[in-house]
Amino acid sequence: MKTILKKMLDVKKEFPIFKSNPGLVYLDNAATSQKPKTVIESLKNFYEKENANIHRGVYTLSEVATEKYEESRKIIARFINANPEEIIFTKNTTESLNLLSYTIQELIEKGKNEIILTEMEHHSNLVPWQQMAKRNNFKIKFIPIKNFELDYDKAQELITEKTALLSITHVSNVFGTINSIDKLIGIAKVNNVLTIIDAAQSIQHISVDVKKLNCDFLVFSGHKMFGPTGIGILYGKKELLEKLSPFMTGGGMIEKVSYEKASWNEIPLKFEAGTQNIGGVIALGEATNYLEKIGINNIREHEKELLEYALDKLNEIKNIEIYNPGKDKSLSVISFNIKEIHPHDVASILNDYNIAIRAGHHCCMPLMKKLNIPGTCRISLSIYNTKEDIDSLINGLKKVQEVFK
């Protein structure tokens, strides 16, 4: 066994879910990751020992909570190479994208009225733009897919001086494809196009550096990177965030209020109206520390080895169709179908063997329609997965085929 896989065996012990559910083979990490003990402890610790509202009280408890909340912002900023005031806390990726879709009009130059997305976007990065396009009479164009990858020649044609914004996923949640977002951001910059990156599926697997990428905005969810649910991130370049109007208004986000009007607080607080998910923010800081401690390169190496193993084993299954661009072009997400067996039935039977996989359209209904399939079975791997998990899956799939024989 490679040393990296051995090291990760210890990692699994740090996730209490596997103690509470012995034998669990959890292969749905793209939906949400499990939480390490240190993150769970952080939540517990906050509510037991430090709970107070932030940015308000002058008493010690509130000051400590505020400090920890802001410390978490710094940790996350450092993680993606941003400045702390460029990090805005939201509920999840979906809210971050909605925030942008409702406020970004102010940044768009006159005469620009096209939005470029890709055919592989999650509904979260599609439906808000459909709504935005409807409100503003914009047009949406889609970068097509070829062999489970984006067609970059077509992208080059689609992005023009009429393009207002480009919003694309870094990694596909269906195929695992790592998109060449640097290439697309480059094309966008030439045409003065605003760029938004959906990093929901990349942030926990590969290093993301917003300065290097030079994207204008980047969004992700804490719950997919070992943090709690209900906390997400919107990164935006400082000068752009300063120009944006707030999405929600109320307490905490104001500078001055009279009965007639109000003025806004500075960024990032301008975008954080009302009492925030304080415990969640602090725990997400802890999750980020945890991720950094393991090391994103170790994570990548471990998952690469598992992905290779899984692809080899799956390829040996009879009557399987795999929707994946190849091990070098994808992260540890594999979609597949077994001929004549519906994904739901596959997942139901695997559940009998304590194997959790996802079956369905993965919030990508137009993509499924394009592939002309009702859905796929999807496995997505993380740091605590092992080769034994893959072996269990393969045995499970053989059982499925026996049932449907």
Partner 1 sequence: MSLEMYREYVLDLYKNPLNKGIIENPSHEFMKNNPLCGDEIKIQLVIKNNKIENLKFDGIGCAISMASASLLTEKLKNLTIEEAKNINKDDILELIKIPLSPVRIKCALLSLDVLRGALENARN
Ligand X SMILES: Cc1ncc(COP(=O)(O)O)c(C=O)c1O
Q: Which stretch binds partner 1 (CB under 8 A): 4-12, 48-56, 342-350, 386-394?
A: 342-350
Residues 65 and 53 sit within 8 Å (Cβ to Cβ): yes
The single residue among 25, 87, 164, 349 that binds partner 1, judged by CB under 8 A, is 349
Q: Least distance (Å) from ligand X to the CB of residue 351?
A: 20
Interface with partner 1, residue 375, by CB under 8 A: yes
Q: Does the protein bind partner 1 through residue 345 (CB under 8 A)?
A: yes
The Cα 194–Cα 260 span in angstroms is 34
Tell the smallest beta-carbon distance from residue 170 to ligand X (Å).
8
User: Least distance from C-beta 397 to partner 1, angstroms?
Assistant: 15
> What's the CA gap between 272 and 187, in Å, rounded?
32
Strands (E), 91-227: 114-118, 139-143, 145-146, 149-150, 163-169, 194-198, 217-221
Q: Are 225 and 288 in contact (CB under 8 A)?
A: yes
**List of E strands, 281-369:** 320-323, 333-338, 355-356, 358-360
**Tell me, what DSSP letter sits at residue 102?**
H
- Min separation Cβ 287 and ligand X, Å: 14
- Which of 238, 182, 242, 176 is CA-nearest to residue 208? 182
| Binding of residue 174 to partner 1 (CB under 8 A) | no
Among 285, 257, 244, 253, residue whose Cα is nearest residue 272: 253
133 burial class (0-12, 13-18, 19+ CB within 10 angstroms)? middle
**What, of partner 1, ligand X, none, does residue 90 touch, CB below 5 to 8 Å by kind?**
none
363 is catalytic: yes
102 sits near partner 1 (criterion: CB under 8 A): no
Nearer to partner 1, 55 or 378 (CB): 378
Provide, rounded to whole angstroms, the least separation between the CB of residue 31 and partner 1: 14
**164 phi and psi angles, rounded to 5 deg:** -85, -45
The residues binding ligand X (CB under 6 A) are 30, 92-94, 122, 124-125, 169, 173, 198, 200-201, 221, 363
List 352, 388, 395, 398, residue binding partner 1 (CB under 8 A): 352
Q: Which one of the spans 3-11, 65-73, 182-190, 348-356 is the region binding partner 1 (CB under 8 A)?
A: 348-356
Residue 319 sits in the site that holds partner 1 (CB under 8 A): no
| Partner from partner 1, ligand X, none binding residue 198, C-beta < 5-8 Å depending on class | ligand X
Stretch that binds partner 1, among 48-56, 253-261, 352-360, 379-387 (CB under 8 A): 352-360
With 0-12 CB in 10 A as exposed, 13-18 as middle and 19+ as buried, what is 26?
A: buried
One of 5, 374, 387, 394 touching partner 1 (CB under 8 A) = 374
Burial of 207 (0-12, 13-18, 19+ CB in 10 A): middle
- Per-residue b or e along 217-227, where b marks 16 or more CB atoms closer than 10 Å to that residue's CB: bbbbbbbbbbb
The residue (of 92 and 195) whose beta carbon lies closer to ligand X is 92
- For residues 67 and 149, give the distance between their C-alpha atoms in angstroms, rounded to a whole number: 44
Among candidate residues 215, 363, 364, 377, the one labeled active-site is 363
Strand runs labelled E in 258-319: 262-264
Output 144 or 374, the one with its CB closest to partner 1: 374
Binding site for partner 1 (CB under 8 A): 342-345, 348-349, 351-352, 359-361, 365, 368, 374-375, 403-404
Active site residues per annotation: 363
